Structures are given as C-alpha cells and as structure tokens.
Amino acid sequence: MVSILSIDGGGIRGIIPATFLAEFEKRTGKPVCDLFDLIAGTSTGGILSAMLTIPNSFGQPKYSAAQIRSAYFEHGGAIFHKSLLRSVATLGGLARPIYSPRTLERMLAQYLGGTRLHETLTEILVTAYDMASSTPWFFKTSFAKTHHGPIDDPLLTQVVRATTAAPTYFPPLSLEGHCLVDGGVFASNPALCAYAQARNMYPLEREFFVVSLGTGLQEHNRPCAKIDNWGIIDWAVPISALMLNASSATVNYQMRALIGGANYSRFQLKLDPDATGMDDASDKNMRKLDVLAREAVWQQFASIDRICRILKERKGSASSLRVSAPAHRGDAI
C-alpha cells in the first residue's frame, strides 16, 4: 500500500493541518515522514511538506509537527505584518504586493538553511506556477535526485518561497529565468497531483491510501436574488475565494471517485462566513484557529485513530514496487 499525504494552501491557516499532523505523530509515536511514502503541499502546505521532511545532522527529521505548529504562532505575526508605510506605498496591495518577502525569507533560511530538494527524507511534491511559460510547476524529490542543476534541485528555501508567492500578497520568485508564483492558482488542494505522481512512481501498486488535509472553508451562500445584478466591483473580492474553494471541492469529488471508500480521508473545517483572511495573524485570530483545530481533532477522534493504526502498521510496504519517476517536471506530472 502506498500512503499519500496532501496538504492544502491557506496561509496562516496552516495551523489547522499542523494540528492534525501533531496528533498523528502523538498517536503513532512516529514522525510524519515515516508514515507516508509521498507528501504533497501547496503554499502553506508546501511549508509543512518541506519542514516535515528536512533532515538533521543525524539523518532524522529536524522538526516535529508540534514544533512546526509552534512556528506559525512564533513567526506568523511578523510575516504578515501590515505596516502603515507599506500599506500607503502599495495602495493597500493595489499597486504592489501587500507584504515584503524579507521576513518570510529570513524565517525560511532559519529553518531550512542550505538543504536542497533531493535531501528530503520522504518524497515530496510542492506546487508552483511559472508565469514565464504559463505552466504548472512541480518541485519533486525524485526529479531532484536525478537532475542536479539549480532549477532542478533548488534549495528548499527556494521551493517554499515559490509555492508561497501568492499573487497580491508576495512577489513571485525569479529562479533561473522562471517566474514562479503560488501553486494555489491551479492546485490549492494538491491531492490529485499527489495521486498522479504516486501512480507514476508505483505503477505496480494496486492500493493507495490518501489523507488530505484542508485549511478551513468559508461558505458564502448567496441566492440569485442577491447577486443577480453584480458587476465587476461586486465580484472583485469574492471571486478569488470562490474559485479556490470550488477547485478544492472538485479535487475532493475526483479523489472520492478515483479511490473512495476507506482509502481516502479528507479533513476540512467549516469556518464562519465572517472569518478573516489567510493573512490574519492577529492574536485573536490565531487563538480562534487554535481552538477550532483542537476541537476538530477531538471531533474526528475515531477517524484519526483508524488512520493512525493503518499508517503505523503498513508504512514501508510499497518500497519494493517503486520505479524511477518520469523525467519531467513542468506541465505534466
């Protein structure tokens, strides 16, 4: 059985999947990278993917899920700091990205250092989008191990900087002629990308076990009577969230159709309609997300327990069926 972990994008709401993952480690007594054959992430999910699989000097996971969760509380406020000066200079994000990437880059350097993609302890797949060629971009450990150029085997700091370059929030990452932005523009939920990659890596395997972690869903139910006469101004704010939510829900539908049953689990919290944005790192919102995540873990006690038992017992059974992944990285898996 091939075990796959997929983690959605969602900014500071990465606290939610980090809480679930800390519970996985607590119940199994194993690090996340030992529970899954493939870990995929978009945006904040990419942060988690990299930090969960970066090795220490002894070849063991450098960070536990609980430590990564704490990092959101420690650094979130600084990364998403809204200074009055920058707000004026960027016209509130209308003229330039809302945030400078410098604080994020310092944090990534602190936690990821000079580690490269090929060094991750478990296969990871992290999404980005290349604006220079209009193609999806997949950072993959397996590709990095056989292609050693700076674009093929980048630093993990570069991988994460690319996948978190959400348009209007952070500027893109320029890397060897490529202009990379947040993979959430096409795969806010990377579960289907992860499944396709796993099928390529393990063509002889017949059983796949997928755990998909969301970062919270805001439901805005609007009847036609309310939006019938909406124009560009009315749609400008909700359209982005609408498209991301719809895309994620579509992937969930596809995964249930492809795998379904007991081998596919999706954890997604419902947030209040008035919940703040993915960049709200205020103490109030962080506490709220913390409570929501802990309550969700408690409510899903039985489901998590079943998943942990399966992962603890079956991890490693797929290694003998693995073959070399196809040698490409761009618009196809």
Catalytic residues: 43, 182
Categorise residue 100: left if φ over 0, alpha if ψ from -120 to 50, beta otherwise: beta
Q: Who's near 52: CB < 8 A, 6+ residues apart? A: 21, 31, 32, 33, 39, 61, 63, 65, 68, 122
Taking a C-beta distance cutoff of 8 angstroms, is the pair 31, 25 a contact? yes
φ and ψ of 321, to 5 deg: -100, 0
CB neighbourhood size of 15 (10 A): 27
Q: Would you say 4 and 192 are in contact if contact means Cβ atoms under 8 Å apart? A: no
Q: Which residue has the tokens 């600084």?
A: 78
Q: Burial level of 63, CB count in 10 A (0-12/13-18/19+)? A: buried
Residue 31 gets which letter from DSSP? Answer: -
Residues 113-125 as b/e (b if ≥16 CB within 10 A, e otherwise) read eebbbbbbbbbbb
